[in-house]
Each structure stands twice: as C-alpha cells, then as structure tokens.
Amino acid sequence: MSTVIDGSASVTINSGAILGITSGTAVASTSGTSIDFTSIPSWVKRITVMLNAVSLSSNASILVQLGTGSTTYTTTGYVGGGARFGASSVASSTFTTGFSPSNVTAAALVAGNMTITNVTGNTWAASGIFGENSGEFMCMVGGSVPLAAVLTAVRITTTSTDTFDAGSINILFE
C-alpha cells in the first residue's frame, strides 16, 4: 500500500511539527540597518535566507545572525568565511560576528540564497551563493556557529552602519 501526498496536504509528526516548507513574509529592504524574522518554531531544522536585488548604501557586507530570542542575537562564535569573485579580482574574508559573503559594492544589487541547517543540538551550519550585478561578481559563504539556546530568529544586517536601500528579503523554514 502506498500513500500519495499531492502537495496541498500536510502530515503531522513529532509532537505537532508539520512536514513541509513554510514561507515567511517578504520584507522590503529599502531602509534601516537590519531585518528580523522572529517566532521561528523550535522544531525547525533548515532555514533558507533569500535575497532579491538587495543593495546597501555603501561598501559594507551583508551579515546574517542567528537569534535565540526575539531580541537576542548571537554576535560571536561564528567560524567560516566568504569570498567575492569577479572577472579580474578575488576578495575573501573570515567572520566571527555572523555569516557574511564578503564586501559588496555600494548600490550593487545582490540576489541569492543561504541555507542554514541544524548540525546537532544548537549548532548550525550555513552555506550560500549570491550574485552581484556590479562587475559580474559572485559571492560565496560557508561556516558554523554554536548557539546558547534553541534558534528562534534570524537577522539580516550589515557589518557597519550602512542602510539597506533596495530589494526584498524573505526566509523559508522546514
């Protein structure tokens, strides 16, 4: 006997967790220095951060930080790095305050995805690839971070006081 699920149905397992992908609500990234996605359920094992033509006001880096409360974000302990590849240049960086794909050029439009997965307990790993329209750049990121408690939020911010000035950001979680 087999069971067919047509995509419109859901299956309940593990104390009420629903099998499937849940989309957040897209947020315009046209002002401010950070965008927060809160109330992520405790059963989540994978989060995808999606950038759509996101731009910063200067030459900073986009930074993704994980939170363990609605206003408590982990700002230390990240291990990994990012790189930015262009037709005639390569730049790379390590990070400790969040997951960052490396510097972007002011007014450049950045698009792509970062997948953040639960390794074990409260330890999370991230990897992502982004494209940038300024000089045909591609940015990559990879790393991990142990959290002090269960992940409940994701913040997309910058490595300086730069502000967002174009695009939109959303997340998926499962």
CATH code for the domain of 32: 2.60.120
Half-sphere exposure of 15 (CA within 13 A, CB side): 4
Q: Is residue 1 part of a domain?
A: no
Domain contains 17: no
CA–CA gap between residue 156 and residue 37 (Å, rounded) = 9
Neighbours of 31 (CB within 10 A): 10
Alpha carbons 47 and 65: distance in angstroms, whole number: 12
Establish if 70 belongs to a structural domain.
Answer: yes
Asked if the structure places residue 50 within a domain, the reply is yes
Q: Is 10 domain-assigned?
A: no
Output 133 or 70, whichever has higher pLDDT.
Answer: 133
Summarize pLDDT for 19-65 with one digit per residue, the tens: 689 999 999 999 999 999 999 999 999 999 999 999 999 888 899 99
Containing structural domain, residue 162 = 25-173
Count structural domains, the chain.
1
Domain assignment of residue 37, yes or no:
yes
Q: Is residue 15 included in any domain, yes or no?
A: no
Distance separating the N- and C-terminal Cα atoms of the chain: 27
- Cβ atoms of 124 and 77 within 8 Å: the answer is no
> Does 12 fall in a domain?
no
Question: What pLDDT is stored for residue 107 in this prediction?
Answer: 77
Q: What is this structure's pTM?
A: 0.86
